[in-house]
A and B are shown apart, each in its own frame.
Chain A
Amino acid sequence: MTAPLIIFFVLATLAVGGALSLIFQKHPIHSALSLIVVMVALAGLYLLMGAEFVAAVQIIVYGGAIMVLFVFVIMLLNAGIEEHTNFSKLAGFPGLLLAFALTGFIAATIARSTDTVQAASQPGNMASTRDLSTMIFKDFVYPFELTSFLILVAVLGAIVLAQREAKP
């Protein structure tokens, strides 16, 4: 039981626990906090794999901007505890079982599939930020410029959509 393995299991338990908490919490703000825990756990896993820049970007953008947006919207809309609907519990059970079966099937298939996946257990090398940025600005420069345009469109759309109606 080496130290990286212990850290992996701790972070994986945090991530799965956060995801379960997302499902079972009744108040959306608690679900949002659980999702933040999942994201921080995933950032820890990225660090464990050696992808340090992606880990930092995950925390800054996902955890520090997108989830803040979620938390603000929940606060502003004053979202309360979810209402109780009467969906049939009888149909819930086989549904749940099927969901687990599907997940297990996907996981088992991927985990057993290729030799690359099984054999790649060498120590994670630190991904250098310099190489990453060279790749973004040389090979992927066109998608990069497109994403900047996408963000512009998103900002305009959000502003237009969330405006108050002009009083006549």
Chain B
Amino acid sequence: MIPTNYYIVLSAILFGLGVLAFIFKRNIISIFMSIELMLNAVNLAFVAFSQAMHKLDGQVFVLFVIVVAAAEAAVGLAIIILTARNRQSLNVERVDLLKL
């Protein structure tokens, strides 16, 4: 079958790509999506370890992570809508009222 470290390496690669997307994208919704990508990478690691150790705790934790991600997406997107209304732009570099 498939050794567990294959899954872990894939999870690390996805997490790294999520970090890259977070840093390089300028649209706030894309940045938010990269956060979801990082959460998914972590979920993959959880499930891989849960199946490796034949315990179900990892999968229960994955369910909780999914629920928390849902709540976070709801509130975060509401905040994004407000920000977009206020600044009339979805570019993070436009939210710079506190800049010197």
Q: Do chains A and B touch in the complex (CB under 8 A)?
A: yes
A11 to chain B, nearest CB (A): 9
B95 at the interface (CB under 8 A from A): no
Pick from B16, B26, B52, B60: contact of A135, CB below 8 A: B60
Pick from B13, B37, B52, B69: contact of A22, CB below 8 A: B37
Q: Is the Cβ of A5 less than 8 Å from the Cβ of B17?
A: no
Q: In residues 9-63 of chain A, which contact B (Cβ within 8 Å)? A: 12, 15-16, 19-20, 22-23, 28, 31-32, 35, 38-39, 42, 45-46, 48-51, 53-54, 57-58, 61-62
Q: Is the Cβ of B75 less than 8 Å from the Cβ of A158?
A: yes
Q: Is the Cβ of A127 less than 8 Å from the Cβ of B82?
A: no
Interface size class of B (residues with CB under 8 A): 35 or more
- Total interface residues on A, CB under 8 Å, equals 81
Bound together, the chains give a CA A95 to CA B23 distance in angstroms of: 10
Q: Is the Cβ of A135 less than 8 Å from the Cβ of B56?
A: yes
Q: Is the Cβ of A22 less than 8 Å from the Cβ of B30?
A: yes
